[in-house]
Structure 1
């Protein structure tokens, strides 16, 4: 089992609680908090609309914190599940090198659920850009869709939604191809 008593149990509970809290914060709320702390109070980053490369830090952090928290929990659960399987015990009994056990046996099996979740998280991040772009006053598809909704320009809204939909389809296609290549039972690898 993943959790054990004592100090390790406390670390695992802290990790679980921290990742749940970070994953539950909406992107736009995190963006507003980051702007207040790091741009307004500390003055380390520009508040909005700057084109300098360091001005991308706060929007990227606002978009990435939630998915990274979810992703880290899923990776942890998947790796612990795979490491408890019989084929890993067999590989250890054969005295294979640890790097070979992890890279050849554990990693491909743990990556299937992880990659599937990656596709879902990437498409969710694209949807989160609509609000984050507006918080940071960045010109982009998110800002354009909000302006088009406010001006009732529905053809632009439909076009942007179509672009987002094509993006989601492409991400899912790439993830499915990678999963097929990683699957040891796949016929694609043999071709």
Structure 2
């Protein structure tokens, strides 16, 4: 859809290849649009939920500036679900690069894994899958560390 409308019909962006900044627009849009919409919805729902909690009402009752109430009190609580889902979505987007690289004729791990599967080059496929797996582990580790920094109560403690 993106290629047919913006590249072929309107001619605003290149159909394929990586020849400049304009070549990034369609692939990035294809990868990020769905994830951005879902994350925006989650942030909205979480913020509305947190803004009704007692600790936010207490902060407002102390007559703290609205910016401080939002940034220091409400946002860290609302970001826990957002970060967790965002980490999962980031790994899904990395996996989605396999499709995007092939549609937009970009060289990368995604197009290499497809070529390796077609050529039955299984060691290369295994290596790329291992790299993707390590990437998923690193993203999950980063999300866990960020969650622990934002909300120390979320860490597991032994009694």
Q: Pick closer, same or farther for the CA change 1:96–1:184 going to 2, 3 Å.
A: farther
**Is 1:144 aligned to 2:112, yes or no?**
yes
Q: Pick closer, same or farther for the CA change 1:47–1:97 going to 2, 3 Å.
A: same
- When the two structures are superposed, what TM-score results if normalisation uses the length of structure 2? 0.94
> In 2, Cα distance between the equivalents of 1:98 and 1:184?
24
Structure 2 unaligned residues grouped into runs of 5+: none
Partner residue, 2:51: 83
CA displacement at 1:184 relative to structure 2: 4.4
The answer (yes or no) to whether the contact 2:2–2:26 under 8 Å persists in 1 is: yes
Partner residue, 1:70: 38
Specify the SS of the correspondent of 1:138: coil
Partner residue, 1:93: 61
Aligned length: 155
> In 2, Cα distance between the equivalents of 1:139 and 1:123?
19
Structure 1 stretches (4+) deviating beyond 4 angstroms?
Answer: none
**Per-residue Cα deviation, 1:66-117 (whole angstroms, up to 9, x for no partner):** 1001101110110001001011111111111101101111011111111111
Specify the SS of the correspondent of 1:185: helix
Q: How does 1:1-191 map to 2 (within 5 A)?
A: 33-185=1-153
> In 2, Cα distance between the equivalents of 1:166 and 1:184?
26
- When the two structures are superposed, what TM-score results if normalisation uses the length of structure 1? 0.79
Q: Pick closer, same or farther for the CA change 1:96–1:128 going to 2, 3 Å.
A: same
CA displacement at 1:51 relative to structure 2: 2.3
